[in-house]
Amino acid sequence: MAHVTFQDQYFRIPPVTRVYTTACVITTILTHLDLVTAFQLYYNPRLIFYHFQVWRILTTFLFFGSFGFNFLFNLIFTYRYCRMLEENQYHGRTADFVFMFLIGGLLMAVVGVFVQILFLGQAFTIMLVYIWARRNPLVRMNFFGLFNFQAPYLPWVLLGFSLLLGNPIAVDVLGIAVGHIYYYLEDVFPHQRGGFRILKTPWILKKLFDREADQPYAPLPEERPGGFDWGQDVPAQNQPQAAGGDD
């Protein structure tokens, strides 16, 4: 077997997942080295609109806190579920995936005007988890080896875990709410009687990001779901993986 370098592994990560998780890591490194501070990154609509510190619209989604358990936990979940969405439901549809990022980020930014949530990265992670979970309702999960459950319950298990750790759950609730809005508008409403597509990816995004379709993606065994105890997929006999479900 040919030697696979870190660079090879890195560039095998699909592009949106690679760019987003790399930006999260770089942001944390910069704050750890005191090159920037969290005060320069947090979401503040007044500073954005009146002092033109527009970078805060982006950096609020990139900072999970200083290096530690919370950072590692969020980064792993972000990488894992962002990558599975991009490689499966959005394979060959990079523009649609980017549009999902924009819609989710916009909804959170609007809500952030009215609530005191300074950093929206964790909420964005929960949104990704929620969308993946609703599109894979038959996948069985295992949380830290304690109990099994179906994938749609994963966001709520994470919310309960945040509660046990003493973290504020408003961020998780925001992520679940935005994830549900996107899932309903994209996967449920268009298939109901009288329904139609509300979320249509702008042509400019398709021109920028979509390329000629690649060959169907066939992940290696180590890249398939089930690499971690928390949120680990539990094999089930004759259990298909569905792409959607009733609301």
Structure tokens at 243: 């792409």
Integer Cα distance of 59 and 34 in angstroms: 16
Integer Cα distance of 120 and 109 in angstroms: 8
Contact 208, 83 (CB under 8 A): no
Q: Quick one: CA dihedral 189, 225, 98, 63, positive or negative?
A: positive
Percent of the chain with pLDDT over 90: 59
Q: Which CATH code of 2.40.50.100, 3.40.50.740, 3.10.450.50, 1.20.1540.10 fits the domain covering 6-211+223-232? A: 1.20.1540.10
Amino acid at 132: W
Q: What pLDDT digit, counting tens, does each position of 43-63 carry?
A: 999 999 999 999 999 999 999
Integer Cα distance of 236 and 146 in angstroms: 17
Give residue 239's pLDDT.
Answer: 43
Model confidence band, residue 231 (pLDDT cutoffs 50, 70, 90): very low
Is a pLDDT exceeding 50 seen at residue 220? no
Return the C-alpha torsion angle 119, 125, 65, 42, nearest 10: -20
Q: Break the chain into its structural domains and give their ranges.
A: 6-211+223-232
Is a pLDDT exceeding 80 seen at residue 130? yes
Structure tokens at 73: 């936990």
β-sheet bridge partners, residue 143: 147
Residue 6, sorted as left (phi over 0), alpha (psi -120 to 50) or beta, turns out to be alpha
Give me the phi and psi of 147, to 5 degrees please. -160, 160
> What value does the mean pLDDT take over residues 234-242?
43
Amino acid at 182: Y
